[in-house]
Structure 1
Amino acid sequence: MSKNSEYLSMTKRSISWLFFIAFAIVVTYYFQGFSYKETFNSLPVSSAAKELPIYCVNTNKPQISITFDAAWGNEDTQKILNILKENNVKSTFFMTGGWVKQYPNDVKAIYEQGHDLGNHSANHKNMSSLSNEEICNELDPVTEDVKKLTSYQMNLFRPPYGDYDNHVIVKARECGYFSIQWSVDSLDWKNYGVDAIVNEVLNNKELKAGAIILMHNGAKYTAQALPKIIEGLKNKGYEIVPVSQLIYTDNYHINSEGKQIKNEQQTSTTKETVTMIN
């Protein structure tokens, strides 16, 4: 056999082997992919569902909630309470454990005026970084301290920084709390000024029935902006109620946007990723 013929024969054998190896790889990956797909599709839907707090509420009533986070300072707390009282508005205050200990008289004043008292954790930590035991340790002491001061039993919880994951929401629920986020951020914490806060709330695209508005009792311009916000909301036809009156406490689900929906309101054609609560 000549060298050229031998070289041609070796080339053909190499190509045949490469084709065979490529074919084997394709077949292997095909069946592995099929196996993976079958395994994923066989998983229950709930295992892939994301647990969410309540960002807003699906309601036919023209109601919204104004909420205040109380973590630092109390310079404007009494001003805010006076404004709420003058306008016959009830709100929700989410308080940290440190704030409760430092300003017990303010806690009592908030309670005596008929507002919701909500839990904002003991130490304002990123809750998603904590274990289940640590989560309960962040929640329960605040509730106990508030109960000693007022006899009020807290069941509303707002995660500090809006930080949460599945295990935070599930554990908070197991500890007896509804986790509450917000759909309208006033951005009062950025200290842009009164007009900026008022505009951010009243012209927010998410301002609609069932909205939950985030404000802070310690922000620089909040107390000055609050009367204009209340007036503007009322002029738009909204009734301002505390979160405890806005949300559903049983027989509801939360859709993929964080909207709390009464179960009877879900139609047979609706397809959503939901957290079911019974």
Structure 2
Amino acid sequence: MNYFFILNGKKIKQYLIIFLTAFVTAWFIYIQNIQFSVFSTEDGPKAFYKGKNGVALTFNIAWGDSKAEPILDILKKENVKSATFFLSGSWVENHPHIAEKIVEQGYDIGLLGYEYLDYEEEDNEKIRRDILRAEEVFKKLGINHKKMLRAPNGHFDERLITIADQLGYTVVHWSIDSQDWKLPGVERILKNTAKAKKGDIILLHASDSATQTAVSLPKIIKMLNDEKLPLTTISEMMIEGKANTKEIN
């Protein structure tokens, strides 16, 4: 009789371990799903973060004039026909000749707002004013831009996506961060961008603080060419249709 209860006690313990293991696994998967869909809306607009074909080099510019033109010169020298620049309105006001050069070289331009704001920390009206102020600067200076918006520091939530959509813009994020803004060294930047696959959007910077981007760029371009990954623009990715969109935490 005692033997019978000992056996069942062992079985109960085994079943309990199996149950707890399954529960923890299910909870882990659930948490992961929450992390990647926390700002998603089932039927509403979503942020664009990945395409289907090619790789998009994207450059943020918010301040300075010493790095942008060398990067443009490198792109021209390397015969790169497709790239996308996200420019802040205040920067364009101070450097319209560089913005015009970006247009002349045939690259896409999107908005980076006017001021370098953390949109997650601002109220809806201030976000709206910042976007519209940037748009007005582009129109006033005759700088053609696509209806694409990138959050200045990459932080955004469902509110920004909704506001942007109301103003006719699509929020564009990225799938690969080169981390050139951290100044980690050329080898680290190359290692970060080496992860690129078909459809990826790479984040780079052409502000004066990004002192290692121009040195890294020719090597990034060669690496992508060696991998036979054609360069494209964000607008071309969007035209492909059925590209991946989502809100990112």
TM-score between both structures, scaled by the size of structure 1: 0.68
Deviations 1:132-163 (A, max 9, x none): 32222111221221223235143010012111
1:54 Cα deviation after fit:
1.3
Of the three residues 66, 69, 84, the one matched with 1:78 is 69
Checking the alignment, whether the CA contact within 8 Å between 2:45 and 2:165 is kept in structure 1 is no
Residue in 2 that maps onto 1:276: none
1:86-97 correspondence to structure 2 within 5 Å: 86-89=77-80, 90-97=82-89
**Using CA pairs below 8 Å that are at least 6 residues apart, which structure has the higher relative contact order?**
2
The structure having more radius of gyration, on CA atoms, is 1
Structure 1 residue 55 and structure 2 residue 44: aligned? no
Of the three residues 113, 123, 129, the one matched with 2:121 is 129
Cα distance in structure 1, aligned partners of 2:113 and 2:238: 20
Distance 1:255 1:168, change over 3 A: closer
Distance 1:249 1:210, change over 3 A: closer
Residue in 2 that maps onto 1:201: 193
Of the three residues 169, 178, 184, the one matched with 1:192 is 184
Where in structure 1 are there 5+ consecutive unaligned residues?
1-45, 259-278
Cα distance in structure 1, aligned partners of 2:45 and 2:115: 23
Of the three residues 56, 59, 70, the one matched with 1:65 is 56
Distance 1:172 1:142, change over 3 A: same
What amino acid is aligned across from residue 78 of structure 2 in structure 1? N
What amino acid is aligned across from residue 88 of structure 2 in structure 1? T
Residue in 1 that maps onto 2:32: none
Structure 1 residue 227 and structure 2 residue 218: aligned? yes
Alignment coverage as a number of residue pairs: 207
Structure 1 residue 210 and structure 2 residue 199: aligned? yes
Distance 1:51 1:182, change over 3 A: same
Task: Indicate the SS of the match to 1:234.
Answer: helix
Of the three residues 151, 165, 169, the one matched with 2:157 is 165
Structure 1 residue 150 and structure 2 residue 175: aligned? no
What amino acid is aligned across from residue 215 of structure 1 in structure 2? L
Residue in 1 that maps onto 2:93: 101
Q: What RMSD over aligned residues (CA atoms) do the two structures have, in Å? A: 2.3
What amino acid is aligned across from residue 109 of structure 1 in structure 2? K
Cα distance in structure 1, aligned partners of 2:117 and 2:96: 21
Distance 1:95 1:56, change over 3 A: same
Deviations 1:20-41 (A, max 9, x none): xxxxxxxxxxxxxxxxxxxxxx
Cα distance in structure 1, aligned partners of 2:248 and 2:150: 17
Task: Indicate the SS of the match to 2:48.
Answer: coil
Cα distance in structure 2, aligned partners of 1:199 and 1:253: 24
Checking the alignment, whether the CA contact within 8 Å between 1:51 and 1:165 is kept in structure 2 is no
Task: Indicate the SS of the match to 1:213.
Answer: strand
Deviations 1:63-108 (A, max 9, x none): 0100001012121111111111122222111111221111111111
Identity across matched positions, percent: 33
Residue in 1 that maps onto 2:174: 182
What amino acid is aligned across from residue 203 of structure 2 in structure 1? L
Residue in 1 that maps onto 2:16: none
Task: Indicate the SS of the match to 1:162.
Answer: coil
Where in structure 2 are there 5+ consecutive unaligned residues?
1-39
Structure 1 residue 117 and structure 2 residue 109: aligned? yes
Distance 1:103 1:51, change over 3 A: same
What amino acid is aligned across from residue 230 of structure 2 in structure 1? E
What amino acid is aligned across from residue 172 of structure 1 in structure 2? A
TM-score between both structures, scaled by the size of structure 2: 0.76
